[in-house]
Chains A and B, each alone.
Chain A
Amino acid sequence: MKIVVTGKGGAGKTTISGALARLLARGGHRVVALDCDPSPGLGISLGLGPEATEAAPAVLNSLVALGHTHNDPDPDPEDLLTRFGVDGPDGVRLLVGGKVEQLAGACVCCGSHSTTRKLFSNLPHEGRVVLADLEAGLNDLIWASPKADDIVIALAEPSAKGFEIARRACELAETMGVGQRIVVANRANGADVETLSELTGLAAVAVPDDPAVAQADREGLAPIDVDPQSPALLAIASLAEQLGLVPALAAAQPERRG
């Protein structure tokens, strides 16, 4: 199973990806979380903390440091996962694509557009959930090119532009033939959910604005480790159920796998 999370900048992609990954792992899945943002930060929402998040090796930078160029054949994604993946809480394995650090650094330009973006397509997903937290905007969704049996989750923050980007993402996913498209109104009120549902023709899932989530992010903590019963977390748990990947109620309970 592969899931891509997309949407406007700041829509909550990383927050929701992190929480979803943890909940799916608690529901008994082997989860690989791909951080596709060249300014990586998914580790925070997975609960690795600031130091381990910053220390997580990025595939592309690591390869370039080893002399890999874009003319070399694509490395085996399973091998990359073994070499550069980092284990986080609940057994979620984090793989960071690439990191932009300094102008004189690695050749991230060609790399982030080929090596790392191919990871999503190439990483085998039998017996595991591969969840990709994309860079802001529609471009990365095009690059990730999800297929018919993948799931696309399009998030919107409550703004007209956020709604519009989510609408385009859903339409793009449909054009790509993606079967399961889910649209989420994050930090939303009832009217936002209606607006987004109307715009996309899909029943939008609501995740409420939750001070506990914002607070966790200011502290560099995963919301799920701060308060797994907070309103936003409960809504993300029901999203996990809706995906058909976790039995009802199991998702919100810690330490109960299987």
Chain B
Amino acid sequence: MSTRRDGRTAGRPDASGGGVMQMRRTNGGALRVGVVGSGGVGKSMISASLARILARRGRSVLAVDLDPNPGLAYSLGLAPNDDGLPAESTVRVEKGGLYGWAPAPEVDLTTAALTLSRVAPDGVRYLSPGKIDASGDAKGEVKRCLGTVRQMVDLLEAPWDVVADLEAGTTTPYEGYARFADTMVVVASGAWRSCVAARRLLALFPDMPAVVVATKSTPGASDASRWGLPVRHTIPFDPDVLEAERHGRAPIDVCPDGPALSAVAALADLLLETRPMTVSAPRAAAHR
């Protein structure tokens, strides 16, 4: 085990703002966060708001959409579309009779986050696997792009804060979609089902630092701690968030100073304070 080649273990984060080039030189302490939880608890709202809050603090942020259903782009304030990755950026790999997808060898992983993403408000970069459309071709295009995006994030060498929004539930975390992360944000509302799902998710990653977030809490009502979850952080119910999402607007553009967004900002502080500063060997070697 050694430090990453990109020097993530060295030094404090660059909070001075500025462009990608600058960030690339001083990338210590970049966040690698996977946001998981049962359906509709607010994963996309949190991922998107977190990404934009980090970007507003001058950090380079890659918001990775690991859900083939429409969601994250709306919460980011980015016009949603179904675009995945161009065919030439992906390559089919066979292994033991099975096949998967990976970034094509020509793809420069230090710049892939820039070249294959779209620019969202506040300069957040949005990397999407494409979306399942009404044709129902989930196994074709989306499989190709999702498989590649996963790998790309795994292999990424640039100093980006990575915030990835996973699909609802336990399936894709079980399948290893959050392997890239060094911290898991596990989200639960007060409902029994969401708490049991959170417990199952925590059991899937016994060795990964996790921050359990109770969402949509209302004064007086019991929240996730009632069902035995070690709640670390709470995001209150904010009717303005609901209203924003109802109209397809990013919550941070509608109620940036409201209770929910303030709580996401505090979550950003918490993640930056507690982020692991040592990580395992660079995985990019396998790509070459």
Contacts and interface: CB of A to CB of B under 8 A. Distances in A.
* Interface residues of chain A: helix, strand, loop or mixed (majority): helix
Interface string A200-229: 000000000000001101111000000000
Contacts, number: 140
B40 A157 contact: yes
Interface size class of B (residues with CB under 8 A): 35 or more
A11 interface: yes
B258 interface: no
Given A100-B200, A175-B134, A8 B170 contact: no
Interface residues of A, number: 46
A137 B74 contact: no
A38 B41 contact: no
A168 B132 contact: yes
Given A39-B197, A41-B196, A102-B203, A136 B39 contact: yes
A109 interface: yes
Given A41-B197, A218-B222, A10 B38 contact: yes
Nearest to B205: A103
B73 to A, nearest CB: 8
Nearest to A160: B248
A46 to B, nearest CB: 12
B221 to A, nearest CB: 7
A159 B246 contact: yes
Contacts of A122: none
A229 B138 CA distance: 40
Contacts of B272: none
Tell which of B41, B43, B74, B192 has the most Cβ of chain A within 10 Å. B192
A39 B200 contact: yes
Interface of B: 38-41, 43-44, 67-71, 74-75, 80, 132-136, 138-139, 167-171, 174-175, 190-193, 196-197, 200, 203-204, 221-222, 226-227, 242, 245-248
Q: Kindly list the 3 A-B residue pairs having the minimum CB-CB distance in the complex, ordered from nearest.
A: A10-B40, A9-B39, A160-B248
Interface of A: 8-11, 13-14, 37-39, 41, 44, 50, 54, 100-103, 108-109, 112, 135-139, 142, 157-161, 164-165, 167-168, 171-172, 175-176, 192, 214-215, 217-220
Given A14-B193, A41-B197, A161-B70, 18 more contacts: A9-B169, A10-B40, A38-B170, A38-B171, A38-B174, A39-B200, A44-B192, A100-B204, A102-B203, A109-B175, A135-B171, A136-B168, A137-B69, A139-B138, A142-B136, A192-B246, A214-B191, A217-B193
